[in-house]
Structure 1
Amino acid sequence: MQKDQLRLTCLQNRNNLSQSQVEAESLKIANRCLGLPIWDGFFYHLFLSIPEKKEVDTSFLLTILQGKDKNVVLPRVKGKGHLEHTLLTDSTKLKISSLGIPEPVTGLSVSPETLDVIFVPMLCFDIVGNRLGYGGGYYDRFLSQCRPDAKKIGLSFFGPLTRISDIEETDIPLDGCVTPERYYAF
């Protein structure tokens, strides 16, 4: 299936979830992450969820990262198609951006090459690790700047599709994806 049609279908599937389903499934995803072999890193990049879009609620994962005393790095949109990355500290102030994304206002900038694990937002993924986002290319540009050994872990309420048919050369595949039911390694 082509990306444009998939986006509509995936958004509709996610919008059909109740708020209690989003919360319960997000907690399952966070707990499943505890069993992954990713906890020896130092810098973990985490997107903050947009509740109105019924994204995976990453607050549970944030609690786990903080409990493990990991350095958490948050994205902030910096111009069209580009992200800036900020270390989360006790003094970090968050603001809802014009895109509806909770973002750090200011803070210590972190280079993408520093990151060990990146939790990646998505609408869906396929059985070989290709992901589909909202279509702005923000994460593909960002992931191309990360070290090749940095783990790119998707978070999804739903299992994989057979195939996303119009993958481009600039699309960066995942190393794995966590769903409420299981972990998919690629």
Structure 2
Amino acid sequence: MTKKELRQLYKQKRTALSVAELEMMSLQIAQQLSICDIWGYNCYHLFLSIKKLNEVDTTPILQLLYEKNKQVVVPKMNSEKRTLTSIPFAKDTLLQTNSWGVPEPKDGMAISAHKIEVVFVPLLAYDLYGNRIGYGGGYYDRFLAECRPETLKIGLSFFLPEENFSSISLSTDVRLTHIATPEKIITIE
């Protein structure tokens, strides 16, 4: 399959999920993460879900981060440069929805990608080699390339992996270190 075909397939699979399924599986992903050995770090980058696209609801993960007193940063998109910056996020942070439908902080000073130790990454599809397929804009690949090599890159998915799609990956695609699913955490070797 091509990247375009995989994107279309996984968008359809997510659209087919009921609200109850989406909520249950998002909570299961957070529960899997809660028992994973990723909590010894300080700075966590978490995407805020686009509800209309049936993305994994990251609210339960955000609650975990708050309970563990972690520094949380969230992405803010620059559509002209096709880049992401990370803005500190607190319970009282004012949000606005950008033109892509992404909730993001209205204000805030960006922090360096080098300070981020764990990144939760949105995706449509992935394989067991850490390759991911997102929406095709390259925002997260460019952002992850700015992070330190040892930064944990954790994809969140409702679904099982695809076969190896290294053959359709680009040299600019950044591989994940882990995948969190409702059933388990997959560590990429």
Shorter-chain TM-score: which interval? Answer: over 0.9
The change in CA–CA distance for 1:29 and 1:62 in structure 2 (over 3 A counts) is same
Instruction: Give the AA of the match of 2:13.
Output: N
The change in CA–CA distance for 1:5 and 1:34 in structure 2 (over 3 A counts) is same
Q: What is the SS of the residue equivalent to 2:146? A: coil
Residue 90 of structure 1 deviates from its aligned partner by: 4.2
Alignment of 1:38-49 (within 5 A): 38-49=38-49
Q: Please say which of residues 103-112 and 127-136 is displaced more in the overlay.
A: 103-112
Per-residue CA deviations over 1:51-82 (Å, capped at 9, x if unaligned) read: 11000000000000011000000001013311
Q: What is the SS of the residue equivalent to 1:28? A: helix
Per-residue CA deviations over 1:141-173 (Å, capped at 9, x if unaligned) read: 000000011100000000110122310100000
How many pairs align? 186
Per-residue CA deviations over 1:92-139 (Å, capped at 9, x if unaligned) read: 211111110010011131110000100000001001110000000000
Look up the match of 2:183: 181
The runs of 5 or more residues in structure 2 that have no matched partner are none
Aligned-residue Cα RMSD (Å) equals 0.9
Residue 91 of structure 1 deviates from its aligned partner by: 3.9
Residue 180 of structure 1 deviates from its aligned partner by: 0.3
Instruction: Give the AA of the match of 1:115.
Output: I
1:7 aligns with 2:7: yes
Q: What is the SS of the residue equivalent to 1:144? A: helix
TM-score, length basis structure 1: 0.97
* Sequence identity (%): 44
TM-score, length basis structure 2: 0.96
Q: Which runs of 4+ in 1 moved over 2 A?
A: none
Q: Please say which of residues 44-53 and 34-43 is displaced more in the overlay.
A: 34-43
Residue 89 of structure 1 deviates from its aligned partner by: 2.6
1:112 aligns with 2:113: yes
Instruction: Give the AA of the match of 2:19.
Output: Q
